[in-house]
Amino acid sequence: MTTTAHDIAATIHHKHGVTFDFAAEAVETYIAQVEDVDGRDIDREEILDDDAEFIITVFASAQRAGDFGIRQLDDVADAADAVDVAQATLDQAMADRDRAIRHALAHGARVTDVVAAAGVTRARIDQIRQGRR
């Protein structure tokens, strides 16, 4: 029996929780390696069941070993950096808002007007006025 590279990628995608595109790229990489080692061409539309089983098994082993996760660590680091930047920006914006609220109240603005302008509750305005986060 035979199968296709597409079907192998779909199997890996569903079984191992990776994107289909990632699975397809891995399947192509493993097919190319088998071709190089065995010195034969593999038709992507008629892959022998033994070759398909080998590719799926090798993928599972590589995933368990963490070989694929290395690529995604850069994405994790980039996302963590973006969170840090966003958090710092948010913290600064909140401090600016709180300062503006205290300033408006000190100059006689009505609490109801400050609530409307700031988009927060009266209780939050009271917390800000008292210096509580």
What integer pLDDT is reported at residue 96 of this predicted model?
98
Tens of pLDDT, residues 72-130:
888 899 999 999 999 999 999 999 999 999 999 999 999 999 999 999 999 999 999 99
* Residues paired with 3 in a beta bridge: 47
Q: Cβ–Cβ contacts within 10 Å for residue 51, how many?
A: 19
Closest CA to 61 of 28, 98, 121, 16: 16
Tens of pLDDT, residues 5-52:
999 999 999 999 999 999 999 999 999 999 999 999 999 999 999 999
Question: 0.75 cut: is pTM over it?
Answer: no
